[in-house]
Amino acid sequence: MNAKKILIIEDNYAVAESISRTIAEAGFATVGPVDTAAQAICRIMQDTPDGALLDVGLRKGSAMAVADALRERKVPFVIMTAHGRETLPPGLRQVPYLAKPMTETELIDTVRRTFK
């Protein structure tokens, strides 16, 4: 059985590593992490993942540009941010959402539900 590939798009390396480890232990394959919009879009175009975890505050570039690239490829994604859903750009408010900080259980449950 092939594990679903999940692209981690997160600007905090320690957080990205923790997320990667947690979802790998849950049976998913991780791609990345990447910390800029350009890196994320490049990865999405080169080898389309099965899903993505997208931090809104990237080191460089727009999370909306990444979201657009994911939508073009019909890749489901989850927004991760410490900001409330109501503060997100309108185009991201209806996307599955994880509030930071999150528990491992919240992360795994959301990943399993979103990337079945």
- For the chain, the structural domain boundaries read 5-114
Looking at residue 16, its pLDDT comes to 96
Please tell me the pTM assigned to this model: 0.95
Tens-digit pLDDT profile for residues 51-77: 999 999 898 999 999 999 999 999 999
Round the average pLDDT of the chain to a whole number and report it.
Answer: 95
The CATH number of 5-114 is 3.40.50.2300
Q: Which residues contact 106 (CB under 8 A, 6 or more apart)?
A: 98
Tens-digit pLDDT profile for residues 24-58: 999 999 999 999 999 999 999 999 999 999 999 89
Q: Which helix (H) or strand (E) holds 52?
A: strand 51-55
